[in-house]
Structure 1
Amino acid sequence: MRARIEDDLLFLHHEDLPGYKKGGSVVRNSYFWALKSIAGQASRQRDWEYESEIWIALGRMLMSFTESGYLGYRETVLEFPITQGEIPDALRLVSTWE
């Protein structure tokens, strides 16, 4: 998922976020609700925002879904632009550069 950090807020690009589908995959729908439940802002057609205080929990959650093997790597890994600078420690294990 494309990600960026601005003013201690992590933004996940809205086009890369999982969608909720009634009657869809239980894992994918659980992933959607897990990401949404810890977001500071999670509006449709807008990037979702995560405060720095929950980055540790977000990192653990992403790692858990990555290790489950039910979702694709690009769906569970944060992709930062090279211009972003250093990736915060709390997100380093679940992040890469674009």
Structure 2
Amino acid sequence: MRARIDNNVLFLHHEDVPEFKKGGSVVRNSYFWALRSIAGRARRAGDWEYESEVWLALARMLMSFTESGYLGYRETILEFPLSQGEIPHVLRDVGTWE
């Protein structure tokens, strides 16, 4: 998922966050609700926002879904632009460069 940090807020690109689909995959819908539940803001057509206070929980959740094997790697990894600078320590296990 494309990600960026601005003013200590992590933004996930709205086109990369999972979609809720009624009658869809239980894992994907659970992933959607888990990500949404800790987001500071999760607008339908906007980037999802996560304050630094929840980054540890986000990292643990992403790692858990990655290790489950039900979702693709690109769906559970944070892809930062090279211009972002250093990836915060708490997000290094689930972050990479685009």
Q: What TM-score, normalized by structure 1, do the two folds share?
A: 0.99
Runs of 4+ in structure 1 deviating by more than 6 angstroms, as ranges, are none
Deviations 1:35-61 (A, max 9, x none): 000000001010000000000000000
Q: Does 1:28 align with 2:28?
A: yes
1:1-98 map, 5 Å = 1-98=1-98
What amino acid is the match of 2:40?
Answer: G
What amino acid is the match of 2:97?
Answer: W
Secondary structure of the equivalent of 2:35? helix
Deviations 1:6-25 (A, max 9, x none): 00000000000000000000
Question: 5+ unaligned residues in a row in structure 1: which ranges?
Answer: none
CA RMSD in angstroms, aligned pairs only: 0.3
What amino acid is the match of 1:97?
Answer: W
What amino acid is the match of 1:61?
Answer: M
Secondary structure of the equivalent of 2:49? strand
Secondary structure of the equivalent of 1:5? strand
Q: What TM-score, normalized by structure 2, do the two folds share?
A: 0.99
How far did 1:92 drift? 0.4
For the residues of structure 1 that align with 2:80 and 2:3, how far apart are their CA atoms?
Answer: 5
Secondary structure of the equivalent of 1:15? coil
